[in-house]
Structure 1
Amino acid sequence: MLDFWSINNIAFEVIGYPMSYIEFIGTILYLWATWLVAKQKMLNWFVGIVSSVLYMVLFFQIRLYSDMLEQLYFIIVSVYGWWRWSTPLKDTGKVLRIKYSERHKIIFVAAITLGVAFALGGLMSRVHLLVPVLFPEKASFPFLDALTTIMSFTAMWLMALKRLESWFYWIVVDGVGVWLYYVKGVKFVALLYVILLFLAVYGFRCWLRGGEYEGKH
């Protein structure tokens, strides 16, 4: 059973690339969850949780520690998003509707995101020295990895609140992710991010044109 979680447990090869079971299943579930959220389907939260568990194990093995912690956050916010999307608001008695945040909130959230990303990058660049037992090797691309991680944190939280600007964060994260994972040799994950980039654009268009969209205010 433990062999399943190893990146060395190969399911098949794609053009000479060894595909592990954990990478393949996590990728398929991640794509499915993204399509489901673009369509505002509640099932996206459950599928996303399972995918995050698989990726958390994968990222630990390839030393992308910020991404590993990101998956734990995704699981927590997915539980919250599942509840938030299905629970009527107390003031209106209706479920969440898609909308932009106010402009000053968008700017504030973006500034906080960049500041926290820089701080996390500094920490992750030294985490192998601070906690060598848990992180025996130096992190790869700590600042870039931290930036995409914190932007993903922000995007996930905004998505749980059905904020339309969440898709802009995903578009940036997915674009950077294509390059980062290709360089790390996780080529199927890099391909995943190419597809996710298109899905992010698609999701934005779906939410923008959705019948529940309230527009800017």
Structure 2
Amino acid sequence: MNIFELLDINNTLVNIPIGAGGYAMSWIEAIAAVFGLLCIWFASKEKTINYLFGLLNVTLFAIIFYQIQLYALLLLQIFFFCANIYGWYAWTRPTASGDTLAVRWLDKQKLMVTAVISVISVALLTLYIDPVFFAFANVMVDVLNAFGAGLADPVLQPDAFPFWDSAVTVLSVVAQILMTRKYVENWLLWVVINIISVGLYAAQGVYVLSIQYSILLFIAANGAREWSQLAKNNKTYKEEATA
């Protein structure tokens, strides 16, 4: 099997007997899922190598979304790719004190600003997700066709669950940013995101993704528990060092 066959969404690894007629999981989906699970697991352990697996995961998902013509999700993977690079840098770069970035909680002011921005963003995206996505999809097709892709104009249906879809999208961006800065709240957001995703994908009949997000839910909950303890230890250490 060559690399192009491996990356083909139609190259089936296994047929999973769930849903109507089963679900043909491709090699690229399976490999991307494994990299995604490893990324989240190592992040919960505060291991910088999570960003390597994160970069591999979002690259493969970008290829998947290109093949199935989900261009907005492809763009989201580009954001995650950049966020992973920045996170890798931020986690390894020494701070002004000479130490690396420490796990901690958001202060009250940053928490309030983050909450307000998140709520407003979810509300706006819920209201405008269809026209924004339709316009974006057409622009993406035009751009790709300029490079010889030869794609037809997309025929798009309204978003099935605009509020929940918008919530997952916005909160995923916020959670990823918080993770790059080692704020504990990122895991609390991932717990919420994964709970919504489990129900959302199950409602749409994408049971494999629903199962995957169930696993991610437990990893995120464990990450929240472990990072809360790390933040507590770091705060105690800092207080003792300045006493």
Q: Considering the TM-score relative to the shorter chain, is it more than 0.5? A: yes
Aligned length: 215
Stretches of structure 1 lacking an aligned partner (at least 5 in a row): none
Pairing 1:83–2:89 present? yes
Aligned residue for 2:208, secondary structure, equals: helix
1:9-88 matches, cutoff 5 A: 9-15=11-17, 16-61=22-67, 65-88=71-94
Read off the aligned partner of 2:11 and give its amino acid letter: N
Read off the aligned partner of 1:132 and give its amino acid letter: N
Superposed CA offset, 1:163-198 (max 9, x none): 011111101100111122223333222111000000
Question: Contact between 1:67 and 1:145, CA under 8 Å: does it hold in 2?
Answer: no
TM-aligned CA distance change 1:32 to 1:160, over 3 Å:
same
Query: Which stretch of the first structure deviates more once superposed, 49-58 or 149-158?
Result: 49-58
* CA distance in structure 2 between the partners assigned to 1:142 and 1:22 by the alignment: 28
Partner residue, 2:222? 202
* CA distance in structure 2 between the partners assigned to 1:51 and 1:108 by the alignment: 30
Partner residue, 1:103? 108
How far residue 111 of structure 1 moved from its aligned partner, in angstroms, is: 1.3
Question: Contact between 1:27 and 1:189, CA under 8 Å: does it hold in 2?
Answer: no
* CA distance in structure 2 between the partners assigned to 1:144 and 1:125 by the alignment: 13
TM-aligned CA distance change 1:57 to 1:181, over 3 Å:
farther
How far residue 59 of structure 1 moved from its aligned partner, in angstroms, is: 3.7
Superposed CA offset, 1:91-138 (max 9, x none): x11111111111121121011012122323344312325653637123
1:38-187 matches, cutoff 5 A: 38-61=44-67, 65-90=71-96, 92-126=97-131, 127-128=133-134, 131-132=137-138, 134=141, 136=154, 137-138=156-157, 140=159, 141-187=161-207
The structure whose RCO (Cα within 8 Å, separation 6+) is larger is 1
Computing the radius of gyration from Cα coordinates, the structure with the larger value is: 2
Read off the aligned partner of 1:7 and give its amino acid letter: I
After TM superposition, the score normalised by the length of structure 2 is 0.79
Aligned residue for 1:49, secondary structure, equals: helix
* CA distance in structure 2 between the partners assigned to 1:37 and 1:108 by the alignment: 25
* CA distance in structure 2 between the partners assigned to 1:19 and 1:179 by the alignment: 20
Q: Give the root-mean-square deviation of aligned CA atoms.
A: 2.4
Query: Which stretch of the first structure deviates more once superposed, 148-157 or 58-67?
Result: 58-67
Question: Contact between 2:118 and 2:174, CA under 8 Å: does it hold in 1?
Answer: yes
Identity of matched residues, %: 31
How far residue 55 of structure 1 moved from its aligned partner, in angstroms, is: 1.6
* CA distance in structure 2 between the partners assigned to 1:6 and 1:185 by the alignment: 22
* CA distance in structure 1 between the partners assigned to 2:32 and 2:177 by the alignment: 21
Question: Contact between 1:116 and 1:150, CA under 8 Å: does it hold in 2?
Answer: yes
TM-aligned CA distance change 1:186 to 1:21, over 3 Å:
farther
Read off the aligned partner of 2:101 and give its amino acid letter: L
Read off the aligned partner of 2:198 and give its amino acid letter: V
Query: Which stretch of the first structure deviates more once superposed, 137-146 or 92-101?
Result: 137-146
Query: Which stretch of the first structure deviates more once superposed, 177-186 or 154-163?
Result: 177-186
